[in-house]
Amino acid sequence: MPTPRYVIVGGGIVGASVAYHLSERTDDPITVYERTDLASETTSKSTAMIGIGGPDPHSRLKHYGFRLYNEFFAEPAASPRYRQAGRLRVATSPSGATTLERLAADESEQAVACESVRSSPGIFGDGLMEYIPGDEVRKSLLIPPLNTDIVDGALYRPRYGYIQGDSRTLGPRDLAFEFIERAKENGVTFETNTTVTDIRTNGDRVTGVTTDETDTVDADEVVCAAGPWNAQLAETVGLDLPVEHVLSPVFALELDRPFPYTLPAIKSHESSVGLHRKRDDVVLVTYTPGENDGATRYDPETVGDTAPDAVRRTALEWAERLVPQLHDAELVDEWVGVGTSTPDGNPIVGWTPLEGLSVAVTMSGIQLAPAVGSIVARQLVAGDPTEFYDDVSISRFDGYTDATNC
Ligand SMILES: Cc1cc2nc3c(=O)[nH]c(=O)nc-3n(C[C@H](O)[C@H](O)[C@H](O)COP(=O)(O)OP(=O)(O)OC[C@H]3O[C@@H](n4cnc5c(N)ncnc54)[C@H](O)[C@@H]3O)c2cc1C
């Protein structure tokens, strides 16, 4: 194996995208080290919604991803299937409805205020999101199983859908393989079942990594793309990443009477419990306790395979409130992922204070992985901070710089 110039730690969708984007720009050797199997951790546990909308810079970052996924899906290397279904965030209290209405207004205002989006109409605004008052929901949306009696207002985003697969993991994992297969074609080496145990340094410069398989590996550039493990990896070289985590359990419910129509993804504003139709007869219930009121920092190793009882109870109770037909559904599967959050809700991507060390930390990684990979590759190969630098650089946080002093 050639000595890699670029080492990527983590073979989830983000590491795969970084590898693909680097390999499109350079012929220098690139190696991805993955502790387990490729795309088998957070990526495979994701419910994989993809849709345009959200505040700046998420929408701009997503636009890059949509362009790339359109290219990928036109000539797929794997077999992800995208279903457009729409997304409905519902408020079940008057104050929640007011918040959603304000959110819709703020996003439209942002479109008017933001120079870079004025030149690219359609990033925000008409047709992408609509606030619907509670008494209008029943009259203007055809969602038969939704208990509209409890809805005080809703935010509807029509251009949302999800990646679907046959088994619980196939959808998002297949999407990651769109990057992996192309990266392999370009010559990237993927070393699985290999854990990076240490990032090696010489003074203020990274010189490589140590793995449990190969001992030491020299590299000019190391990219941390280890999902929820990024924090502990960065800590080994004294970098305290400003990230926190939320538990993200998923409960699969099998219906006794299948839904014979497409359902939008439905999410409760007050509880953060969401519903997502996986098949005619299976609904996935998601719940991120802590999303609304503070995250923490999890050691992903300590997160079990099943959710705490109280979390499961809350998730299923809310799901049934939103869609009463779920009362008779059977819980057939359950898993727990870890979500990542940052103080301003934006990813942390690119150069760090330590020369030769970059990070690829993101929430909504199914949607943002393309842009994250592109930013890292443009920085490392072309020295280009990119138009996203101010929004995603670690140096935007007090007390942090990056080695380039951009
Ligand atoms: C339940 C749930 C629902 C979600 N829904 C959505 C959604 O609808 N839309 C969306 O866009 N996003 C969603 N997300 C978020 C999205 O799935 C993640 O942001 C994305 O998968 C993160 O990818 P990643 O590559 O950063 O992390 P991971 O997929 O976790 O990959 C990191 C990899 O690094 C490896 N690793 C860690 N440490 C080491 C080491 N020391 N050495 C070698 N390898 C190492 C791990 O084994 C792992 O495979 C959801 C997440 C969850 C959990």
Query: Looking at per-residue confidence, does 290 or 24 come out higher?
Result: 24
- CATH number, domain containing residue 314: 3.30.9.10
303 and 328 fall within a common domain: yes
Nearest residue by C-alpha to atom 13 in ligand 1: 364
Show the DSSP H helices in 75-165 as ranges.
Answer: 94-113, 115-118, 134-140
pLDDT digits (tens, 9 = 90+) for 132-175: 999 999 899 889 899 999 999 999 999 899 888 666 566 899 99
In a shared domain, residues 210 and 70 = yes
User: What is the rounded radius of gyration, in angstroms, for the C-alpha atoms of the chain?
Assistant: 21
Overall pTM surpassing 0.75 (yes/no): yes
Substitution candidate for ligand 1 out of 41, 87, 306, 375 with most atoms within 8 A of CB: 41
Q: How confident is the model at residue 101 (pLDDT cuts 50, 70, 90)?
A: very high
**Residue 232 alpha carbon to ligand 1 centre in Å:** 15
Ligand 1 in reach of 195 Cβ (< 6 A): yes
9 lines ligand 1 (CB under 6 A): yes
Residue 358 lies in a domain: yes
DSSP H/E element including 67? helix 58-74
Please choose from 8, 42, 196 the residue to mutate so as to test ligand 1's pocket, defined by most ligand atoms within 8 A of CB. 42
Q: Please give the distance, rounded to the nearest whole angstrom, from the Cα atom of residue 45 to the centre of ligand 1.
A: 8
Atom of ligand 1 nearest to the CA of 15: 25
405: left (phi over 0), alpha (psi -120 to 50) or beta: left
pLDDT of residue 118: 46
Average pLDDT over residues 381-385: 96
Q: Note whether 301 and 369 are same-domain residues.
A: no
Is 292 part of any domain?
yes
Is the CB of 250 within 6 Å of ligand 1?
A: yes
Q: From 51, 289, 67, 34, select the one nearest 177 (Cα to Cα).
A: 34
10 lines ligand 1 (CB under 6 A): yes
Verify that 280 and 260 share a domain, yes or no: yes
Contacts of 304 (CB under 8 A, 6+ apart): 336
Say if ligand 1 is within 6 A of residue 211 CB: no
Same domain for 290 and 329, yes or no, is: yes
User: Does 41 reside within a domain?
Assistant: yes
Q: With 50 as the cut, is the pLDDT of residue 119 above it?
A: no
Task: Say if 405 falls within a structural domain.
Answer: no
pLDDT on residue 52: 83
- The verdict on 47 and 180 lying in the same domain is yes
Which tokens is 13 given? 């969708």
The closest-lying atom of ligand 1 relative to the alpha carbon of residue 37 is 49
- The DSSP line for 217-280 is EE-SEEEE--GGGHHHHHHTTT-----EEEEEEEEEEE-SS---S---EEEETTT-EEEEEEET
Residues 118, 119, 124, 125, CA torsion sign: positive
Asked whether residue 126 falls in the same domain as residue 264, the answer is no
The predicted structure's pLDDT at residue 214: 74
pLDDT per residue as tens digits for the range 299-330: 888 888 899 999 999 999 999 999 999 999 99
Q: Among 43, 42, 33, 26, which residue's Cα sits nearest to residue 9? A: 33
Question: What does the pLDDT read at residue 121?
Answer: 46
CA–centroid distance, 199 to ligand 1, in Å, is: 20
Q: Whose CA is nearest to atom 27 of ligand 1?
A: 227
* Closest to 33 measured CA to CA, from 187, 201, 225, 182: 225
1 within domain boundaries: no
Residue of 34, 44, 52 lying closest to 80 (CA atoms) = 44
Evaluate: CB of 17 within 6 angstroms of ligand 1.
no
Does 181 lie in the same domain as 304? no
Two tokens at 173?
A: 């994992």
CATH of the domain at 66: 3.50.50.60
Which amino acid is residue 134, in one-letter code? G
Percent of the chain exceeding pLDDT 90 equals 72
Residue at which a domain ends, from 137, 158, 179: 158
∠ CA(197), CA(199), CA(203), 5° rounding? 150
Domain final position from 321, 341, 361: 341
In this structure, the answer to whether residues 130 and 265 fall within a common structural domain is: no
- Between these two residues, 79 and 122, which has the higher pLDDT value? 79
What pLDDT is stored for residue 112 in this prediction? 52
Tokens describing residue 227 = 């999902």
Whether 404 is covered by a domain: the verdict is no
Residues 177, 213 within the same domain: yes
Answer yes or no: is the C-beta of 233 below 6 A from any ligand 1 atom.
yes
Query: In terms of DSSP bridges, do strands 265-268 and 87-91 run parallel, antiparallel, or are they unpaired?
Result: parallel
Measure CA 206 to chain center. Answer: 27
Q: Is the CB of 226 under 6 A from ligand 1?
A: yes
The DSSP bridge partners found for residue 162 are: 49, 83
Amino acid at 192: T
Same domain assignment for residues 232 and 353: yes
Can you give the pLDDT at residue 127? Answer: 61
Measured CA to CA, the distance from residue 103 to residue 82 in angstroms comes to 27
Q: Specify the number of domains making up the chain.
A: 3
Q: Which domain range does residue 123 map to?
A: 87-158
Q: How many A from CA of 226 to the centre of ligand 1?
A: 8
- Within-domain flag for 230: yes
pLDDT, one tens digit per residue, over 340-355 is 999 999 999 999 999 9
Do 256 and 293 share a domain, yes or no?
A: yes
The atom of ligand 1 lying closest to the CA of 43 is 21
Q: CA angle at residue 18 from 14 to 21, to 5 degrees?
A: 135
- pLDDT given for residue 363 in this prediction: 95
Say how many Å lie between the CA of residue 15 and the centre of ligand 1: 9
What does the pLDDT read at residue 124?
Answer: 46
* Protein residue with its CA nearest to atom 47 in ligand 1: 35
Q: Ligand 1 centre and the CA of 95: distance in Å?
A: 33
Nearest Cα to Cα of residue 217 among 376, 31, 14: 31
Within a domain: 401? no
Q: Sign of torsion, CA 164 22 63 274?
A: positive
